[in-house]
Amino acid sequence: MMRLLEELTPLNRVLCSSDLDWTLDVLSQELPFERRVFRADPPHNGWVIPPKWDVLEASISHRGEVIYDGSVHALGVIALSAPFEGTVSREELRKHLHYDHRYDDSLTFHFRQLFRSWDRDWGFCVTKRFYDQLSEGNYEVRIRTEESEGYLAVLEHTLHGELSDTVVVCATTDHPGVSNDGLSGVVVAIELFRWLASAPRKLTYRLVLPPSIMGTEYYLARLADQDKAQIMEALCLFMTGSQTQLALQRSRNRRSILEVLLEEELGGADVPHRAGGFEEININDEYIWEAHGIPTCSLARFPYDEYHSSRDNVSAIDPAHLQQTLDLCKAVFQELDSLTMVEKCFSGTICMSNPEIDLYVDPGQVSFGERVSTTTRKLRRLMDRLPTMDRTISTRQIARDLDLDIKFVEEYLTRCAAKGLVRLR
């Protein structure tokens, strides 16, 4: 994992770039990925794929001497900077310089133009110290770039199991010049899938490595309906290697069984962590998966001090934290694959009191003086839930949602399976 981080961190991995293509080439030597490429035509939901963009030269000179070389670090030029060549005053130059307001000696990540490619400016990311120490006078600026038609490239690797029901792991490949943000999740996910491939599987697992946000949206928007319907849920791995503790972000409406297993494992293994609801920890690609109806939780070591700065480099990565995240995921996916899955085999509602079915759970009539146990009331909720099940789900998740002992859930669903209402796998 550290070898890959050392090799790929320095690259200028913006959404569409030669360095991102090179990154995908390197990762494709680790697993047999399929590369899916999405182009701007036809457009999708207003998202504009930016041009493929590479920096050829970027410098600031003063009195004939180069005082800043923006090509030394991948963050040195603002992402998707327009080309520019000319002489400007110090005041004009400063309008095009961006610095990290937290530190005197780091570069910030200026990314907004990647998602607004129709409105582009030229500029550099510099340290605050550099910005403050500029003397009066004129400066020669030179930014040369190479551009061509842009496209979004997504890596996909599927490990087929006995069932077509699929669990996705997503990590993002872009973010130029940084280690923890995105790339650390990629290297952990690759090791997880190398491990998953070594043993028989009941479920199907898919690793998806897109450039963030836009790559995920294009991937899901153009995924075949049948493929999308088979995805049970997803886990996003983002910032897994920093010196900070893990944060588990639950899915929207808490519909994910992975978040339950993760929270149990984190507590049982006594791993320092915190947990939060959807969008309480961070806002990344999980909201794209959720927008497509796929319950998605995430793991990240966020917040961390180096976020969106040149301080987010290999030296900020704790190898033990990468391994801790990997070991956690292994334990959880092993447990996940052992769960009993439930698939509904009918539409509409069923008359459960029909003698040929005989699965009605009587909630009792208060006006008749009837009283039923708490367990019976919860089983009634299970009976009522069956018609609304819109995808395969685990008995463990149903038990969690209804606060019901799993033995009662599985006993009732076994009776349902005997009548052909569900399939248990």
Q: State the CATH number of the domain containing residue 12.
A: 3.40.630.10
Residue (of 154, 108, 115, 150) closest to 131 by Cα position: 108
In a shared domain, residues 8 and 98:
no
Is 177 in the same domain as 290?
Answer: yes
Same domain, 138 and 159: no
**Domain of 84?**
52-148
Same structural domain for residues 198 and 297? yes
- pLDDT band at residue 365 under the 50/70/90 scheme: confident
* Residue 348 and residue 244 in one domain: no
CATH of residue 104's domain is: 3.50.30.90
End residue of a domain, out of 337, 356, 379: 337
pLDDT confidence band for 372 (50 / 70 / 90): confident
Same domain? 120 vs 132: yes
List pLDDT tens digits, range 210-219. 999 999 999 9
pLDDT confidence band for 42 (50 / 70 / 90): confident
399 and 349 assigned to the same domain: yes
The DSSP call for residue 367 is G
Q: Which runs of E-coded beta strand occur in 108-224?
A: 124-125, 138-148, 151-159, 166-170, 204-209
Domain finish residue from 300, 322, 337: 337
Are 190 and 211 contained in the same domain? yes
Token look-up 């307001």 returns 101
Each residue's pLDDT tens digit, 205-251: 999 999 999 999 999 999 999 999 999 999 999 999 999 999 999 99
Query: For residue 366, is pLDDT > 80?
Result: no
Mean pLDDT, the chain, whole residue set: 96
Residues 309-336: tens digit of each pLDDT: 999 999 999 999 999 999 999 999 999 9
What confidence category does residue 1 fall into, taking pLDDT thresholds of 50, 70 and 90?
Answer: very high
**With contact defined as beta carbons under 8 Å apart, do 154 and 210 qualify?**
yes
Q: Are residues 206 and 279 in the same domain?
A: yes
Q: How many domains does the chain have?
A: 3
Tracing tokens 């293509």 back to the chain, one arrives at 21
Peptide bond between residue 387 and the one before it cis (omega within 30 degrees of 0):
no
CA distance 320 to 242: 10
**pLDDT class for 131, splitting at 50, 70, 90?**
very high
DSSP 198-256: TS--SSEEEEEEPSTTHHHHHHHHTS-HHHHHTEEEEEEE---SSSSPEEEEPPGGG--
Q: Kindly state whether residues 305 and 178 are assigned to the same domain.
A: yes
Q: Which of 305, 337, 369 is the last residue of a domain?
A: 337
With beta carbons less than 8 A apart as the criterion, state whether 284 and 302 touch: no
**Residues 309 and 387 placed together within one structural domain of the fold:** no
What's the average model confidence in pLDDT over 392-398?
91
Q: Which token pair is 271?
A: 């791993």
Residue 148: CB atoms within 10 Å: 11
129 and 99, same domain (yes or no):
yes
